[in-house]
Amino acid sequence: MTTAPRLRSAFAAPGRPRLVAYLTCGDPAEATTVAIALAAVSAGADVLELGAPYSEPSADGPAIQRAMERALSRGGGLTQTLRVARRLRDAGCEVPLVLFGYYNPIFVRGAGFAHAALAAGVDAALVVDLPLEEQAELLTPLRAVGLDLVPLVAPTTTSDRIERIRALAPPFVYCVSMTGVTGSALASPESLATRLAQVRTGTEAKVVVGFGIATPNDVRRLAPHADGIVVGSAIVRTIEEHPGHEAAAVARLVGSLAAALR
């Protein structure tokens, strides 16, 4: 079955790098997440990463940890994240949706996860704590329904493992810019250029870079080296800092980031 044509088409089209906006679903509330997501798309986000709240978010920094705690305290989780995706599709949102999360809630859901993600309108999953050696157990059911799995490459990932990702034929590879958690300070974009080129050559896939990217200047400096740029913690902090005005505040931020790519 053809996998995630919406996502693959987004990165296959020529032009500037794609802007990927991350949101923690359910923070501060389900309906607000939907409104924020739609505002982000209207402001220039090309892809949405929908973060499924989890109680032990080991890859995430303080801002996203706080957002996940708030969402979980209000009943958030994988089920609500899938519901947010469905509400976005029902509202006419056509950009690719990547479910970003941890494996335990997906594993607990079992074989039904792939069908639930398809029904919700999700295009792919990105699971930060699923090792390369174990990805087939999720990739197989996802591919069976036409969805994709996005692999992660860390600064410590070896050349051999990078080349093994090639066999997965992913829609893109999420390249982590640093050793650490989300929200940390960005390493020099110029120092990332060689690494991103190595990952692109080794995987024969589009390379999207994330972690530590917060400002239009960060985006502008990374643009020559990446096929896509993820901004997460900066958006989550903006939501936290503008209670009652989250969608408008995120739209302003995303608009400034999108402008930096034009």
Number of domains observed in the structure of the chain: 1
Q: Does residue 87 belong to any structural domain of this protein? A: yes
Task: For 223-255, write each residue's pLDDT tens digit.
Answer: 999 999 999 999 999 999 999 999 999 999 999
Range with the poorest average pLDDT among 18-32, 77-91, 147-161, 234-248: 147-161
| Contact call for residues 210 and 230 (beta carbons, < 8 A) | yes
Q: Does residue 175 belong to any structural domain of this protein? A: yes
- The pair phi, psi for residue 226, each rounded to 5°, is -125, 155
Task: For 159-192, write each residue's pLDDT tens digit.
Answer: 999 999 999 999 999 999 865 444 445 556 667 8
197 beta partners: none
191-219 in b/e form (b: 16+ CB < 10 A) is ebeebbebbbebbebbbbbbbbbbebebb
Task: For 127-143, write each residue's pLDDT tens digit.
Answer: 999 999 999 999 999 99
Q: How far apart are CA 4 and CA 145, in angstroms?
A: 9
Model's pTM, two decimal places? Answer: 0.93
By annotation, the residues acting in catalysis are: 49, 60
32 beta partners: none
Order the strands of the 97-101 sheet from edge to edge: 148-149, 124-127, 97-101, 47-51, 18-24, 228-231, 207-210, 173-176, 152-153
**DSSP conformation letters of 172-232:** -EEEESSSS-TTSPPPPHHHHHHHHHHHHHHHTS-EEEESS--SHHHHHHHTTT-SEEEE-
Averaging pLDDT over each range in 3-7, 89-93, 190-194, which range is the top one?
A: 89-93
Q: Does residue 8 belong to any structural domain of this protein? A: no
Predicted local confidence at residue 111, as pLDDT: 83
3-state SS, residue 101:
strand
Q: What is the arithmetic mean of pLDDT over 51-61?
A: 87
CA neighbor of 186 nearest in space, from 232, 152, 151, 150: 232
Amino acid at 95: V
CATH number of the domain that residue 110 is part of: 3.20.20.70
Q: What share of the chain is helix, strand, coil (3-state, %, to 5)?
A: 50, 15, 35
Q: Does residue 11 belong to any structural domain of this protein? A: no
Predicted local confidence at residue 191, as pLDDT: 74
Predicted local confidence at residue 56, as pLDDT: 86
* More confident position, 179 or 152: 152
Mean pLDDT of the chain: 92
Q: Does residue 4 belong to any structural domain of this protein? A: no
Q: Does residue 9 belong to any structural domain of this protein? A: no
Can you give the residue range of the structural domain that contains 256? 17-261
- Residue 193's pLDDT band, with cuts at 50, 70 and 90, is confident
Predicted local confidence at residue 57, as pLDDT: 82
Q: Does residue 1 belong to any structural domain of this protein? A: no
* More confident position, 38 or 190: 38
- Residue 145's pLDDT band, with cuts at 50, 70 and 90, is very high
Q: Does residue 6 belong to any structural domain of this protein? A: no
